[in-house]
Amino acid sequence: MEKVTLTIDRIRVEVPKDYTILKAARSVNIDIPTLCYLEGINEIGACRMCLVEVEKAKSLQAACVIPVSEGMVVYTNTKRVREARKANLELILSNHNGDCNTCVRSGNCELQKLAKDLGVKEIRFKGNNIEYELDEKSPSIVRDANKCILCRRCESVCGNIQTVHAIGATDRGFGTMIKPAFERSISEVNCINCGQCIVNCPVGALREKDDTDRVWEALSDPEKYVVLQTAPAVRVAIGEEFGMPIGTRATGKMAAAARRLGFDRIFDTDFTADLTIMEEGMELLNRVKNGGKLPLITSCSPGWIKFCEHNFPELLDNVSTCKSPQQMMGSVIKSYFAEKNSIDPGKICTISVMPCTAKKFEAQRPEFSKNGYPDVDVVITTREFASMIKQANIDFAKLEDEVFDNPLGQSTGAGVIFGATGGVMEAALRTVYELVTGKTLDSIDFNGVRGIEGVKEAAVMVGDLEVKVAVAHGTGNARKLMDKILSGEKEYHFIEVMACPGGCLNGGGQPIVDAKTRMEIDPKVARARAIYEEDKDMPFRKSHENPMIKKIYEEYFKEPNSHKAHELLHTHYTKREKIV
């Protein structure tokens, strides 16, 4: 790579010629503030917080979009620069809803932090504050235009990364808003509820639908038997809400906190991740042996399922009929667990802690209800669960580790890695290989499907059969992969798709990491590292070796894909209108 030399704040810097001033400055630990900037997602220079002074240039330049050049001289901290940044910030604040104390992002708001860092003590400009109605119709996402600062980060991730295009800029000038077209609610368009708009918003203009009051109400009801399940990705992220480093494993503390909150039973969604592997693995084998529809595509990610229903209805027969681990757990709790413990399923309230806002949408789908009872009653995100722990004044960091309850709390490393992109595929391969060949794998780490590359491909020999697999994360990458399948360019046996970039680890309900930190630490990588470490520490690392999985088949389901298993653990999806 050809390099250029420039000077930033009197420091000689040599960087690749395709760097921007912002990236060059950060390479030598010179911090330039940003607000609209999000590396690799939104690099448009809209907010003007990153203004710098470039020698010989007539005007101040936006460091996030201006490329470096040989001999360039840059100043990032002159009086002119500081005054311009402060004035621009005051203009943004002039018509911003200022209810910071009650805002969901208070203390973790990039606008709030900038105001403090730049010494904004008063707003010299008075804007015309229009009060917009909240969009609360979605079961997953609340849109508050009163707090929007038009940074367009949400629009960029929704359109450019996810290729959903549920929201975008409408109108012009002071009337510009980021919202769905034609005055629709976000619930009335192709939104897949993935929540990537939320975790990429720098302020509180987008947030999840808060369901914590429903959980508190259930916990306070003496007639309710309240059961909690927690997803694999939650354990390696929730600690961040309590000041722990990104990627800290907090499985035991999470279980302890749940018990302090008063749940009657605390189960691990990893158990039904193992159950999913048994059902999905057998489904794959049946399709391969009996000429069924291939490739088989995973069905664990509700955002992906809705994306497929809108955009690729012709591939719905390829989607696994397995319910997601969340819905399987709800179904198992209200059937197997209820029967074993002589509990009326009508009195059981199942609560899920998920890294995913789309799980809220999934739980209320009519497909996931039996005998009038929904599989899952309430879904809360990792952030909402952390909020409940804080409301209960529990010192999370000081909790002693505890374990999940049996019988649905025992899981394997295969269940744990479901949270990472490639994890479902790897877990399935561990089991399918051994069930088909009757041989023990020499190495169960399938590194070919790991990592954060958008689309990964691998070929695995399972006995005499070469199984061709692919992994995609982020619906933009999934779209590219599906287009190649439909055109006949690619052929596979098995495909894993997760709606969110990085998989569930980077779901829309996970702790929000600000743009600056994300330039230094990639949460997807740090959380994945932790989840694979947990996998290695598990006594069992293959789903079919889980003693409780063996027991539930012996006592209840008899075998994978049995009539009873299909009745409780499987479903089908249907085409949805594509709204443009």
Q: Which positions are annotated as active-site residues?
A: 280, 283, 300, 320, 359, 362, 367, 504
Give the position of tokens 């609610």.
185
Give the position of tokens 């921007």.
20
| For helices 382-391 and 212-220, angle between their N-to-C axes, nearest 10 degrees | 50
Tokens of 151: 């940074």
- Kindly report the backbone phi and psi dihedral angles of residue 468, in degrees, each rounded to the nearest multiple of 5, phi listed first: -95, 125
- Point out which residues pair with 7 in neighbouring strands: 12, 73
Look at residue 58 and give its three-state secondary structure. Answer: coil
Is omega for the bond preceding 295 within 30 degrees of 0, making it cis? yes
Q: Are 50 and 64 in contact (CB under 8 A)?
A: yes
Distance (Å, whole) CA 23 – CA 12: 14
Distance (Å, whole) CA 575 – CA 539: 42
Q: Among positive and negative, which fits the CA dihedral 12, 15, 17, 22?
A: negative
| For helices 475-487 and 302-311, angle between their N-to-C axes, nearest 10 degrees | 50
Give the position of tokens 């954060």.
452
CA quadruple 158, 159, 165, 171: dihedral, nearest 10: 100
- Kindly report the backbone phi and psi dihedral angles of residue 349, in degrees, each rounded to the nearest multiple of 5, phi listed first: -115, 115
Distance (Å, whole) CA 165 – CA 162: 8
Q: Enter the DSSP assignment of 357.
A: S
Residue of 432, 425, 436 whose CA lies nearest to 473: 425
Tokens of 263: 């749940």
Give the position of tokens 């929540």.
195
Look at residue 198 and give its three-state secondary structure. Answer: helix
Q: Among positive and negative, which fits the CA dihedral 135, 136, 142, 144?
A: positive
Name the residue type at position 188. E
Name the residue type at position 143. R
Q: Among positive and negative, which fits the CA dihedral 175, 181, 185, 187?
A: negative
Residue of 143, 144, 153 whose CA lies nearest to 110: 153
Distance (Å, whole) CA 27 – CA 29: 6
Tokens of 171: 């109108």
Tokens of 30: 């010179």
Q: Would you call 124 exposed, middle or buried from its count of C-beta atoms within 10 A (0-12, 13-18, 19+)?
A: exposed
First to last CA, the chain: 42
The overall longest dimension of the chain from CA atoms, in Å, is 80
Residue of 461, 496, 226, 248 whose CA lies nearest to 349: 226
